[in-house]
């Protein structure tokens, strides 16, 4: 995972936190219709964050597999 990947994931997480904060504020103010709409936006954003995190994990796993194919573990030395 590159530093760019980390920054993008952190930024998306911050956006998710802001959407959740907006939802909570609307809910606390009793603005139910607006809170429900914000809830859908928040869930969509959460899905995006999770999908991006899973993509990064898949990429890391694939890179690990490729590295194992290129440089397999050698047999332990015998005495």
Q: Is 23 exposed, middle or buried (0-12, 13-18, 19+ CB in 10 A)?
A: buried
Per the domain annotation, does 26 fall within a domain?
A: yes
Q: What is the pTM of this model?
A: 0.76
Domain with 50, as residue range(s), is 3-70
Which pLDDT does position 69 carry in this prediction?
A: 86
Per the domain annotation, does 33 fall within a domain?
A: yes
Any idea which residue has 């939802």 for tokens? 23
* Residues 8-66: tens digit of each pLDDT: 999 999 999 999 999 999 999 999 999 999 999 999 999 999 999 999 999 999 999 98
Which pLDDT does position 56 carry in this prediction?
A: 92
Per the domain annotation, does 78 fall within a domain?
A: no
Which pLDDT does position 78 carry in this prediction?
A: 60
Per the domain annotation, does 17 fall within a domain?
A: yes
Q: Which of 61, 46, 60 is nearest to 13 (CA)?
A: 46
Per the domain annotation, does 47 fall within a domain?
A: yes
- Sign of dihedral through CA atoms 37, 43, 49, 51? negative
Per the domain annotation, does 79 fall within a domain?
A: no
Q: Which residues of 2-19 are buried (b: 16+ CB within 10 A; e: fewer)?
A: eeeeeeebeebeeebeeb
Q: How confident is the model at residue 2 (pLDDT cuts 50, 70, 90)?
A: confident
Per the domain annotation, does 16 fall within a domain?
A: yes
């Amino acid at each position: 995972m590159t530093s760019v990947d980390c920054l993008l994931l952190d930024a998306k997480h911050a956006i998710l936190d802001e959407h959740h904060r907006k939802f909570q504020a609307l809910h606390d103010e009793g603005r139910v219709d607006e809170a429900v709409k914000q809830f859908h936006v928040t869930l969509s954003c959460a899905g995006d964050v999770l999908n991006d995190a899973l993509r990064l994990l898949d990429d890391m796993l694939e890179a690990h597999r490729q590295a194992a194919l290129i440089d397999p573990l050698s047999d332990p030395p015998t005495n």
